[in-house]
Structure formats: C-alpha cells, structure tokens
Amino acid sequence: MTAATEQPASPGTQQSPESSGRAGALRRLPRLVRLALAALLAAALLAVGVVGGSWLWVRRAAADAVHTVSAAPAAPVGLVLGAGLTGPGEPTPFLAARLDVAAQLYRSGAIKVILVSGDNRTADYNEPDAMRSYLVARRGVPAAAVVADYAGRDTYDSCVRARRIFGVEQALVISQGYHVPRAVAICRAVGLDARGVGDWSMELYGDVWRSGEQRELLANVKAVVDVLTAREPVLGAVEPGVNDALNRTAYP
C-alpha cells in the first residue's frame, strides 16, 4: 500500500504568516468589538461619500461660473456676503477684500447696485451697515447704489433672501475664491441666476485661507441639506430697495 502523497497548496490559496496572524487576531476579538469596528468603518465610508458627493454637487453646479474681476460678466446686482467684523465694528480683512471687489465691479460698470448681506441679530453687531459705510466712505460708491440686507445670517439665507425678499433675478455673488463655488451653487438652486466673482488677495493669510478651504468641505454638506430640505430662513416683507436703486440707475 503506497503512502498518500501530500499535495502542495496552490499559490492562490497560500497566506503569509503575517496575514494569517491578522485574520486570526480579528477572529479572536469579541463579537461586539467586531461589530463596533464594522460600524465605524461603515460610518467612515458614509461620511466620505457624503462629503465627496456634496463637493461634487457644488463643483458641477458652479462649473464655468467663477470669474476674476477682470473677466467678470455684467449683471444688474452684486451680492456681497458678510464675513465678520473686527472689535471696533469694522469689516475684517476678508470682508474688506470682498467689498473692494464689489467696488471695482461697480466702477467698471459690471454691476449697477450692490446688495450687502450680513448678520444683524443683535443691536451691537451690524455687518450690513459696516459694509455699506466702507463702500461709501472709503471706496466712493454712491449711497443710493448700496442696499442692505440685515438678515443674511449665512450663505443660504443671503441667497434665498436676495431672490425672495429683494426680487433679485440675476447677480454676481462676491466672496473669497474658495467660497464662491458654494455660494453660486446655492443661489442657483434657489432660483437666482448667479455667477461668482472671487477674491484671491487674502491668500496671503495662508493659515486662515487654508482653514477656510477646509471648512468648505463640511459647509458643502450643510448647503446640500439646506437645499434638499428647502430650509426657510428669516424672511419678512418684500423689500423694494434693489429695484428702486436699479430704476434710479436705469439699468438696461
């Protein structure tokens, strides 16, 4: 009787001692721990999908719609989004840069009216008035060409209010370059024909600029949620300020 010959394992079924050790270690973990690890992995994959999908939506919605000042198309209204005030109530450097872009667009004739949209939830914090004062006193924009929205608490609120409260149909949205795509995407989603004009001068604030870029990843997710749920911002009565200003300037 001949002895049975041991057949070597096929190359495809061989496992290295290291991989076999890892698999064995996982099998020895308590079942609840394995379930928790699986749940964490699934949550991480879901988060990546949500963040990535939101980023892709913003990029597609704003494709070919972000411009420099020199290449900006014409629109009746420039919508400047708030970006905070300093302790004395002056625009922050980032907000001042946005206002400078708006002033340049106004002087070039690309826009006829500037809608400054910011937060004024408390009596001692008034972004819109600080924005208007900066444009008029420091940049020589006529006061009659600047209209204030006092309830632009975030980008979504500003876009919705520009369309529904101020009756804006077409606008150039003005913000930092990393923020403009999301602003354009939101404005378009709520019915405003928007293109964006970005400021890149603030890149000199390297860490702050990079922080803003990183913040956009989560802000994109919020934008998608706001649009899908049709969140209602603070609205109120319709305001004729933009149309009145346009009528005074006889915009074609």
For the chain, the helix, strand and coil percentages under 3-state DSSP, each to the nearest 5:
55, 15, 30
Can you tell me which residue has the tokens 């913040």?
215
CA distance 80 to 230: 22
Beta bridge partners of 117: 81, 149
The Cα diameter of the chain in Å comes to 111
Up-side HSE of residue 184: CA atoms within 13 Å toward CB? 25
CA distance 108 to 125: 31
DSSP secondary structure letters along 64-75 = T-EE-STTPPP-
- The per-residue pLDDT string of the chain (252 residues; one tens digit each, 9 = 90 and over) reads 444 444 554 444 555 555 555 555 556 667 777 677 777 777 777 777 777 888 888 989 899 899 999 999 999 999 999 999 998 889 999 999 999 999 999 999 999 999 999 999 888 899 999 999 999 999 999 999 999 999 999 999 999 999 999 999 999 999 999 999 999 999 999 999 999 999 999 999 999 999 999 999 889 999 999 999 999 999 999 999 999 999 987 544
Q: Burial-class residue 131 by CB neighbours within 10 Å (0-12, 13-18, 19+).
A: buried
Read off the pTM: 0.81
Q: How many other C-beta atoms can be found within 10 angstroms of the C-beta atom of residue 195?
A: 21
CA distances (Å), origin 232, targets 84, 116, 121:
23, 20, 17
Beta strands 113-117 and 146-149 are parallel
Report the sign of the C-alpha dihedral through residues 17, 22, 24, 28, in that order: positive
CA distances (Å), origin 49, targets 44, 143, 156, 217:
9, 46, 22, 12
pLDDT at 28: 61
pLDDT at 4: 45
CA distance 51 to 218: 7
Listed in sequence order, the residues at least 6 apart from 32 whose beta carbon sits closer than 8 Å to its beta carbon are: none
CA distance 69 to 44: 40
Domains of the chain: 66-249 (3.40.50.620)
The two tokens of residue 18 are 């290291």
Contact 109, 103 (CB under 8 A): no
pLDDT at 224: 92
pLDDT at 2: 46
